[in-house]
Amino acid sequence: MHRFERMFVMYLAEKSIQLAYDPGITPHGGGLPGLFVLRQVVGSVNLFGIIAVVGALAVSAGVWAWGHHSGGHQAEASGKKGVLVSAGAALLLGAANGVVSFFSSLGSQVQ
């Protein structure tokens, strides 16, 4: 091995050791001032989203029904799409805590 190759291998070994270093950082509840307020704000945003989804679902269902009964195929298709998107958004908004908790605990198991 030439001198340059040895230096390059040593450099790569040193960098791989740095990549394997565990900083030991874990989430800490109550570490920041205003964490309670932030939780209230995020909860309020989630509630606002759920209320908006209820309105979007009602409007989409109305468009779907109107399109079906009036023979407007484009309106009917748009209404169906709106109902599915609203249902998906409601599912994600309702499951937000569980989804984040699941992936957070899954991520904490990675070593």
For residue range 74-100, list pLDDT tens digits in order. 999 999 999 999 999 999 999 999 999
Q: What is the pLDDT of residue 60?
A: 97
Q: Which residues of 22-45 are buried (b: 16+ CB within 10 A; e: fewer)?
A: eeeeeeeeeeeeeeeeeeeeeeee
Q: What is the pLDDT of residue 9?
A: 77
pLDDT in tens, 30-77: 777 888 898 899 999 999 999 999 999 999 999 999 999 999 999 999
Contact at 8 Å (CB) between 65 and 58?
no
Residue 111 in this model has a pLDDT that exceeds 80: no
Output the CA–CA distances (angstroms, integers) from residue 89 to 17, 56, 105, in the order listed: 43, 10, 23
